[in-house]
Amino acid sequence: MFGLKLDWVCDLPPQHFVLEDYEGGTPRWCPGCGDHAVLTAVQKLVRDEQLPPEKITCVSGIGCSSRFPHYMSTYGFHGLHGRALPVACGVRSRRPDLHVFVATGDGDCCAIGTAHWIHAIRYNMKMTVMMFDNNIYGLTKMQTSPTSKVGQTSNTHPGGAPLPPLNPLTVTLGITNASFVAQTVDWNPAHVLATLRKAYHHEGLSFVRILQRCPHYMDHLWDEVQADPNKILLLEHENGVTAEPSLKRLFPNHRVHDPADLESARNIAACDMPIPIGILYQNESAARYDKLCAVGLNQGVEERLAAVQREIDRFMV
């Protein structure tokens, strides 16, 4: 090595990360909010995978769930309302070495961010997208969201929501080039962690809808489902979420479902009850736009300047 004295070189010991290495600011979510469980699951996931904090980026839009980057001791981008996914796609396209996690809500993703949601699914860049769904706008104080059920009261519809809700699962499964769709519930941390682990290892965009409790504005939303485990349909398959024996005992309603079967996934997603949890669909062979747009990432300064000059010359009159 030219210019470097070998007796100055030292081998750094391997670094082992613990949970505290990923803990950022103190969460300001309400006590009992389901967001706490998801945050803990992600911190456990990246610890188990031993991902260096400086190689993780958390991106969000606006909403209670979108405070997520503040509570991770990693790189983060707290964006504008509905704009989490285009920012995440930009990060992924220029920094393929980073592990990208996106936190968005039912309002952030399914209302103002709908167009970005559709195209991000189609682009299928490698990232883990977590959609926190509590059927209400929480941060802006209880307005009807796109996933609010008919008759659900809010400040914008005190007489009850008049329209049937949008189903994030069926919508995502209907988008061209969708490659991973799953669902879980925040009150079962083991299933949340197992689902996110499968999502993280997926080679493409993984979309995980998380049914999430809001103890302040929607404190009874999931009470019936929590009280009766038969209202949950546990999806099982060797290529799906691995269910521990304790999880199978907790949810007696099981179904073997091959995540490669798109038609079956759409049928399952369209059923309101029982609520399916697990991987509905996975396609590892779907095209990834981040691989296509990575051209030129390794170019040096002179090569980039030459490329710019060639483009300028094309339009010279």
Per-residue pLDDT tens over the stretch 109-127: 999 999 999 999 999 999 9
28 φ, ψ (degrees, to nearest 5)? -105, 15
Q: Are 69 and 60 in contact (CB under 8 A)?
A: yes
Is cis: bond before 259, omega within 30 of 0? no
Handedness of CA 305, 310, 315, 317 (dihedral sign): positive
Task: Indicate the burial class of 309 (C-beta count within 10 angstroms; 0-12, 13-18, 19 or more).
Answer: exposed
Residue whose structure tokens are 């199978």: 248
pTM for the model stands at 0.89
Please give the distance of CA 274 from its chain centroid, rounded to a whole number: 23
pLDDT tens digits, the chain, 317 residues: what are they?
A: 444 455 555 666 778 989 899 999 899 999 989 899 999 999 999 999 999 999 999 999 998 889 999 999 999 999 898 899 999 999 999 899 999 999 999 888 999 999 999 999 999 999 999 999 988 787 778 787 888 788 787 778 888 878 888 999 999 999 999 999 999 999 999 999 999 999 999 999 999 999 998 888 888 888 888 888 889 999 999 888 887 788 788 888 888 999 999 999 999 999 888 999 999 999 999 999 998 887 777 778 888 888 888 889 888 77
CA 111 centroid distance within chain: 17
User: Does residue 212 contact residue 65 with C-beta atoms inside 8 Å?
Assistant: yes
- How far apart (Å, rounded) are the C-alpha atoms in residues 42 and 52? 14
Count CB-CB contacts under 10 A for residue 313.
8
pLDDT tens, position by position, 264-288: 999 999 988 899 999 999 999 999 9
pLDDT score at 3: 45
Domains and CATH numbers, the chain: 18-314 (3.40.50.970)
Strand partners, 184: 210
In contact, 185 and 277? CB cutoff 8 Å: yes
In angstroms, rounded to a whole number, what is the distance separating the alpha carbons of residues 160 and 257? 36
- Residue type present at position 239: N
d(CA 148, CA 160): 9
Stated as kind and residue range, the H or E segment containing 99 is: strand 99-105
CA angle 17, 22, 23 (to 5 degrees): 135
**Would you state the pLDDT for residue 42?**
97
Left, alpha or beta for 122 (phi > 0: left; psi -120 to 50: alpha)? alpha
Helix axes 189-201, 35-48, angle to 10 degrees: 50
- Give the model's pLDDT for residue 9: 56
> For residue 164, what is the DSSP state?
P
CA distance 299 to 152: 55
Give the total residue count for the chain. Answer: 317
Q: Scanning the structure block, which residue is given the tokens 């210019």?
A: 3
**Torsion on CA atoms 26, 29, 35, 39, rounded to nearest 10:** -10
Tokens 């958390």: give the residue: 58
- Report d(CA 138, CA 32) in Å as an integer: 14
How far apart are the C-alpha atoms of 238 and 257, rounded to whole Å?
9
Question: Which secondary structure element, helix H or strand E, spans residue 219, and what is its range?
Answer: none
